[in-house]
Structure 1
């Protein structure tokens, strides 16, 4: 049986998809602060200054494979994968086009599958690995106008549990962090009345901080969480409790 405390204390290679802004950036910064070698992905434009980054479009298998080859040749095999890249195309169901639905799933769910599958090749050689999927409380609660987004985020939970069944005995863990309403540039732009309505539904009475999401992700990737597999940690102030 693998000893959860036997993982090396040396800096690990951590890949955070969509780690150039928002919650993803905070997660990347947190791993970097503890000494890990963190690589983020960006789809377009130049990489942020001062960080290790590779260009990667998670909706393309070829792009994902090229990104992993670049990472492996430059920094070594990925040991921790945080699948965070995601998009939204919100609209009511009757107005949602098939492309609105499938394009969101292709990035949020199939994109996570692509990077997880590619990372697993390295995990099996290393005989260890950690996957953390960034879902959403919407994936367990649902939300009007987000049939596509909610479906994609719910799917991550099923995928994590299937991977756990397949690879749990290989010292590979696959877990999910489901943030609720987190203070980001997007939530900062919400009208006051909308913010007040959201606040009223959150038992904690406040939005979360990205650092609180990052802490949950870090813990799931730590040696102390080696026996935690196929689980969902909601970082939502109690919004989705009981679900």
Structure 2
């Protein structure tokens, strides 16, 4: 038999931003209970008092605050080096039979210019390349025969080194990206390895994004 608490928890879990806001105690529970009451009643098939929903939300928020943030905050307090690079260009090319060969030529060029930034990721249909602006002419020459689907200039990257335990704690990336989203920061790319990730943002928003990430260490 369904209980009010179980139905309320299921409703909140389907809405990640609401779940996080509830965990942080920044939502008026009485107002929220009035808003979700019709759906809770539909799920239970009976009349439900607002007070009962408020109590379920209160218990859930107390539990979520510990479950959702305790382990995550512990990891984020141990964030390592944060590296910022500016003057970057983001290219996206469609996959072709020749694209890896051209990418190999680009890597050779990067090795001859150790001061430049370069990173790449490959999906099923696209190849993404991020380079320092000074390599734009090189990329566009080497990939002139490829199909470019997107190019964005004047970007900056923020690379964050995470502690090794990040792979065993669910919600790390959600927790970080949620805060960036709340600040209205647009992510052009997200590139990750096991213990670090890089985000690509406009140069206009890089200072704001850096502050958001740096402040995670003091939660």
TM-score class, shorter? under 0.3
- If the length of structure 2 is used for normalisation, what is the TM-score? 0.25
Structure number with bigger Rg: 2
Query: Which structure: greater strand fraction?
Result: 2
- If the length of structure 1 is used for normalisation, what is the TM-score? 0.23
